[in-house]
Structure formats: structure tokens, C-alpha cells
Amino acid sequence: MGVKTFQKLIHHWKILRGDNVMIMSGKDRGETGIIKRVVRSQNRVIVEGKNLVKKHIKQGQGHEGGIFSVEAPLHVSNVQVLDPVTGKPCKVGTRYLEDGTKVRVSRGLGASGSIIPRREILKIRTTPRPTVAGPKDTPMDLVLEQTYDAKTGKGMPDL
């Protein structure tokens, strides 16, 4: 096993969780699926029910062992988003509508140029935000307290 070389991380992701994609290379080439998870730190995505590998898990306290099939991550360059109109793989571009909203559109050869919709799953957070203030949170009365007045200069430190 060799050492993996450093990869440049993608800063502007065009593939999102819930997108319908086609796998372009590998053992599941040509198959389509929905993106289950995006691993941005490794430039990889996990497609639902694809790229299955056998995982040997040792029996431990509280769980059984055995051989399980799990979904392995694919590199993001090996998947392409499907055009919602033609159903063919396409590249993803961005456009601004007349009202100023930013949308993703399909582009490339044979692409329809239609809007790629944002999935409802993106509105659901994987880790929910806390609703109750914790012990290290600042109380709301201290947050809303006005400590500086720009007109009178009240609250300026003496330097």
C-alpha cells in the first residue's frame, strides 16, 4: 500500500447531498443513484446503494460481528449530476434569475440548460442545532446590552 498524495480540496462544490448522479467510472459505471453524504475533507461522495464493499466487523460488547456490505466513498470526479429534463449526465453551472436568486443549471453537450432543483433534504441538518442554552452560552440580556454609543463616544476605552 502506497502513501496517498496530497489532493487539492474543492472550495466551490457543485454536487450536493440529495442530487441524482450517474457513476462515470468504477465497478458501478453507468448506474444512477442519489448522493447520501458528501465528505468535503476528502473530495468524496457516498452514493446510496452503490460501490458496496464487504466489511469484516469483530464482535464486541453490545453488537454482533460478521461480514457486512457497506457503501464506500467515490471520488467526486467519478460522478456527474443528471440533467432533470434529458436524464443524461451533465456539468453544473450557476445562473441568477430575474429576481436575483442564484440557481444551478445543467450545461455541457446535450444538456437542456434547465434548472437543477435544490432537494428538500438540504433543509434538514445532519446535526441539529441546540435549542437550549448551554453553560458556556452568553445570556441574551448581556448580548442585547448596548455598551457603546457612537454619537457621544460613551464606552470608548481610555488609551
Task: Calculate the alpha carbon distances from 63 to 52, 57, 58, 60, 68 in Å.
Answer: 21, 10, 9, 6, 13
Q: What cell does 55 get? A: 466489511
What's this model's pTM, rounded to 2 decimal places? 0.72
Residue whose cell numbers read 463616544: 153
CB 44 within 8 A of CB 74: yes
Domain ranges in the chain? 19-89
Domain 19-89 is in which class? mainly beta
- Alpha-carbon distance of 21 to 19, in angstroms, equals 6
Q: What cell does 101 get? A: 436568486
Per-residue pLDDT of the chain (159 residues; tens, 9 = 90+): 445 666 788 888 999 999 999 999 999 999 999 999 999 999 999 999 999 999 999 998 888 899 999 999 999 999 999 999 999 999 999 999 999 999 999 998 888 889 999 888 887 777 777 788 888 988 888 888 888 888 887 877 766
